[in-house]
Amino acid sequence: MANNKVKFGLKNCHYAIATETYSESTGKWTTTYATPKALAGSVSISLSKEVAENIFYADDSAYYSTVKNNGYTGSYELAKVMSSALEEIFGQKRDDNDFLVESIDDKTKYVALMFEINGDQSATKYCLFRVQLQKPNIEADTTGESVEVKTETCDLTVLPRLDDGVILCRADESTDSTAYAGFYNAVPTLEFT
């Protein structure tokens, strides 16, 4: 594949529920993921970097600085959050009459969020490994002379994974073709040799 000169579009958004397990014996975290599921109707994603900069002054100047990568904050806009995602991600429950019920006891789960952005040559696929989504607001307007589609937006925070500090990975023109083609089959397992 050739390198992209420009990027445009957003599609193929998926989420995978993350399970974080702490081992008392090793003192370490392990993260595992469920099989990714599609999130239809993606409109936009916007991520702003979260960095902490510390500057040390000496000799009447900025002598040394450190920058810590704390992930991203942003928003994910889609046509409508599916009921299944409200249950799986946000912890809402169905009652005996199949009402979807939101309560104070709902527990939001961390997810891996996967998506792709098109380019003039090929799509770049992203996996954010530890994302906390916030439930969307409820909004509606009366219909007038024309119908205006209302979307839903989930604010999100992307944090470093507890076990290894990984934040995201990209599948691009340099990625192994088999790994690129099967990107949405499972959350990527990273290997450094």
User: What pLDDT score was predicted for residue 193?
Assistant: 84
Average confidence (pLDDT) over 56-82: 87
The pTM score is 0.86
Size (the chain), residues = 193
Average confidence (pLDDT) over 141-170: 91
Asked whether 134 and 40 are in contact (CB, 8 A), the reply is: no
Residue with tokens 């594949």: 1
